[in-house]
Structure 1
Amino acid sequence: MIELSNIGKRYVMGEDAFMALQNVDLHIARNEYVALIGPSGSGKSTLMNLLGCLDTPSEGRYVLNGRDTSQMDDNELARVRNQEIGFIFQSFHLLPRMTVLQNVMQPLVYRGLPTAERHRLAAEALEKVGLAHRLGHRPNQLSGGQRQRVAVARALVGTPSILLADEPTGNLDSKTSAEIMALFDELHRQGQTVVLVTHEADIAAHCERTIRVSDGRIVEDSKHPEIAASVQRQAH
C-alpha cells in the first residue's frame, strides 16, 4: 500500500539547508498497525506529513496504492488527502460552532454528496466510535476523550485506505488514552490500516510493528508477532 524509496526531505532556511529526513525506505502493507516512534525533532512528524501527502519529498519516490505521488498535481493530491487518508491530530481540530454531526460531515462536503447521504454516513461513523447519542452537541459540550472520538469519526467517514494519527492521546489523561487506544485496536481488527505517530512507548506497544526514527533516519523496524496473535484471538 505504501512504498517509500530513498526519501529525503530538505528544508532551506536562508543560506542553510537542513535534512529532516534522509535515505528513508519504508513499506507498509494493507491492514498493518504501525507506530512511528522517536523523540521530538527526530523526523517522525515530517515522515507522517509525507505519508499523508501534506508535504512532498525533496528526493526519492512515494508510491501510494500503486500511484507515484510525485506525478500528481495539487488537485490530485487534495483528492488523495480527502479520499485515501484519514487524519487525527493531538488537538482534535474540530470546528467549535458546528455540531458533532456537522464536524464529521465536513470531509464529505468536498465530494459533492447529497446532504442526506452525508448525514447518514456521518451518523454511522459516530455510532462506530460510540457517540451516536451526541450528534447535536458542540465540541465544548464534550470531554477531551469524546472530542477525540469525534475526530476519529471524521477521519473514518470517507472510508480511507489509511488512518494517520499524530500523537492522538497527547492531550488526554491515562484512562481516556487507554479508551482511545482500545478504539484504534478495534478499528484495526475490523481491517483498517493504522499508522500512529508517538513518542510514548506504551502507546506504541499497541501496534504490531514499531518504526523508530532518529536524526531523520529509520534506525529500527521491528514486528511484534505476539500482538498480532492477540489481535487475531480477540477478533474471533
Structure 2
Amino acid sequence: MIELRTLKRTYIVGSETIFALDGVHMAVRRNEYLALIGSSGSGKSTLMNILGCLDRPTSGEYLLDGTDVAARSERALSEIRNRRIGFVFQNFNLLPRISALKNVMQPLIYRPGSRKDRIASAERVLDRVGLLNRKNHLPNELSGGQRQRVAIARALVTAPSLLLADEPTGNLDSTTAADILQLFDELHGEGQTVILVTHDEAIARRCQRRITLRDGRILSDES
C-alpha cells in the first residue's frame, strides 16, 4: 500500500542543513497495524506529515497505492487527503461551535451527495465509535475521550484507506486512553490500515509492527 524510497526531508536553519528524515526506506501492507516510535526530534512526526500528504519530501519517492504522491500538485494532494487518508490528532482539532455530528460531517462538505446522505454517513460512524447518543452535543459538553471518539469518527467518515493517529491518547487519562486504543485495535480487526505515532513503548507493543526512528533514520523494524 505504501512504499518509501530513500526519503529525505531537510530544513535550512541559518547556514545549517537539518536532516529531519535521512534516507528512509519503508513499505506498509494493507491492513497493517504499525507504530512509529521515537523521542522528540527523531523524525516520526515529519514522517507522519509526509505520509498524510501534509508535507512533501525534499527528495526520494512516496508511493501510495502505486502513485508517486510527492510529484502530485497541491490540489491533487488535497483530494488524496480528503478521500484516502483519515487523521486523528492529540488535541482532537474539533470545531468548538458546532455539534459532534456537524464536526464529523466536515470532510464530506465538498463531496457529491445530499445533506441527508452526509448526515447518514456521519451518524453511521458516530454509532460505530459509540457516540450516536451525543451527536447534538458541542465539543465542550463532551469528555476528552468522547471528543477523541468524535475525532476518530470524523477521520473514518470518508472511508479512508489509511488512518493516521498522532499521539492520540496524549491528552487522556490512562483508563480513557485504554478505551481509545481498544477502538483502534477493533478498527484494525475490521480491516483498517492504522499507523500510530507514539513515544510510548506500551502503546507500540499493541501494534503488529514497530518502527523506531532516531535522527531521521530507521533504527529498528520489528514485528
Q: TM-score, with normalisation over the residues of structure 2? A: 0.99
Q: How far 1:114 sits from its partner (Å)?
A: 1.5
State yes or no: 1:120 paired with 2:120.
Answer: yes
Q: How far 1:16 sits from its partner (Å)?
A: 2.2
Number of residue pairs the alignment of both structures matches: 223
Alignment of 1:148-167 (within 5 A): 148-167=148-167
State the distance in 2 between where 1:113 and 1:173 align: 39
State the distance in 2 between where 1:185 and 1:208 align: 10
Task: State the identity as a percent.
Answer: 57
Identify unmatched segments of 5+ residues in structure 1: 224-236
Q: TM-score, with normalisation over the residues of structure 1? A: 0.93
Question: Which residue of structure 2 aligns with residue 30 of structure 1?
Answer: 30
Question: Which residue of structure 1 aligns with residue 44 of structure 2?
Answer: 44
Q: Which amino acid aligns with 1:61?
A: E
Q: How far 1:113 sits from its partner (Å)?
A: 2.7
Question: Which residue of structure 2 aligns with residue 12 of structure 1?
Answer: 12
State the distance in 1 between where 2:24 and 2:138 align: 41
Deviation digits for residues 32-86 of structure 1 (CA, Å, limit 9, x no counterpart): 0000000011100000001001000001000001101123111110000101100
- SS of corresponding position for 1:17: strand
Deviation digits for residues 179-207 of structure 1 (CA, Å, limit 9, x no counterpart): 00000000000000000000001111110
What root-mean-square deviation, in Å, do the aligned CA atoms of Structure 1 and Structure 2 show?
0.7
Question: Which residue of structure 1 aligns with residue 90 of structure 2?
Answer: 90
Q: How far 1:112 sits from its partner (Å)?
A: 3.3
Q: Which amino acid aligns with 1:144?
A: G
Identify unmatched segments of 5+ residues in structure 2: none
Question: Which residue of structure 1 aligns with residue 143 of structure 2?
Answer: 143
Segments of 4+ moved more than 4 angstroms: none
State the distance in 2 between where 1:38 and 1:113 align: 42
Q: Which amino acid aligns with 2:189?
A: R
State the distance in 2 between where 1:48 and 1:16 align: 24
Deviation digits for residues 86-133 of structure 1 (CA, Å, limit 9, x no counterpart): 000000000000100000000000213311111000000100000010
Q: Which moved more, 1:63-72 or 1:42-51?
A: 63-72
Question: Which residue of structure 2 aligns with residue 185 of structure 1?
Answer: 185
Question: Which residue of structure 2 aligns with residue 196 of structure 1?
Answer: 196
State the distance in 2 between where 1:10 and 1:44 align: 14
Q: Which amino acid aligns with 2:221?
A: D
State the distance in 2 between where 1:93 and 1:76 align: 23
